[in-house]
Amino acid sequence: MSAARRTASHPLLHAGASEDSTQASQSFTRAVDAGRLLRLRRGVYIDPAAWLQAPPWDRHLLATAATRLAAPGSVICRETALAVHGVDQLRVPEAVHLRTWRRQEAGIRPAPRLVGRAGPDTVGALLASSDGPLKGPRRRRPDTADLAGVPTRRVLASSAMRQAAETLPSPATVRRPLPDAGEHRLHDLEILVEPLGLVLADTLPRMEVTDAVVVLDSVRSGRWASGHRLTPADVEPWTPLVRSRRGSRRWASAWARSDSGAESVGESLTRLRVEDLGFETPETQVEFVLPDGRTARVDLFWRSAGIVGEFDGWTKYTRNGVLGHRDVSEVVYEEKVREDGLRALGLGVARFIWTEAQTVELLRQKLVNAGVPRA
């Protein structure tokens, strides 16, 4: 396969980029059947290692990039649009979401079979040759579930969108670069996506409140592509799209429970679970001056009990953007020194991990043991 067929800065191969697209497509198809490539979309391929070693959220972005190459004029919406805008989400989108204004086009379409006509032996050898994706603190061997593609869901514009089509803020779509997928650069690929205000008004009322709050925490704290701290006034022009009573209740509840101080998905989830379990709602991002003169900003703080809560996601100890040039052991040591400093101030410290944030009984017991007060 010619390197000229690969866009230099991202891992996808596009048959349509070749001068002889038919010959390129045939060559790529043979490579898929032999287990040397995977087919993400018609005419768009990827090296198996790049796919298998990517975590689920990066696979979704890679599938979105493949959709952009296969159908350049498509407009991204819903949860996929949130991902393109760089907004944190609690769950990986289950499909690449595209907007349609034609009822007959709406619905979900399965992804092409990533391995083409490759037989069981070829697929087994392909899986055996990969170290697999990083999932939490441990790597695991990949299995056939990792070769499931990301489907496409075409979402019909709502009646409210249709009625407001001429009055919606302009532009109806914006062009922005895709976020990078882990170590893979995608940002040279621009994509058509609905504006964030429209995406929020169209998506949040359909989400569970917890998922919606995680999204709002992200945009209110500036943790998205623009870095702007979104306010209710920023999305007010789009609120007429929220018409159902159920959607309006979820919209209002999510805004009321969101917090512009939240700095991670795990922190947001922990705070919400704490509230749902009937414990006192903590303050977020409170600063303390430690005995050595340094300042420590903590994730959660129960002032009435003098208890600090810290969420420890695995990202803190693995991502280069967090580690910088430091070794993991240095980060762990610094966290220990920081915690000792907080305890020296007479504060209690409770640390939470993903398993506890996601498991009600584990979190309840941790809160009780730490002495967190009831609401």
Q: What angle do CA 173, 176, 178 make, to 5 degrees?
A: 125
Cβ neighbours of residue 173 closer than 8 Å, sequence gap 6 or more: 75, 192, 193, 194, 195
Mean pLDDT of 215-244: 92
Residue for token digits 């010959």? Answer: 23
- The angle that helices 209-220 and 265-276 make with each other, rounded to 10 degrees, is 130
Is 360 a residue whose pLDDT tops 50?
Answer: yes
pLDDT digits over 180-207, tens only?
887 778 888 889 999 999 999 999 999 9
Residue-level length of the chain? 375
Identify the CATH number of the domain defined by range 265-370. Answer: 3.40.960
Strands 138-139, 190-193: pairing kind: unpaired
Query: What is the residue extent of each domain of the chain?
Result: 265-370
pTM of the model: 0.89
The token duo for 274 is: 């704490």
Of the ranges 119-123, 175-179, 235-239, which one carries the lowest mean pLDDT score?
Answer: 175-179
Residue 316 contacts residue 136 (beta carbons within 8 Å): no
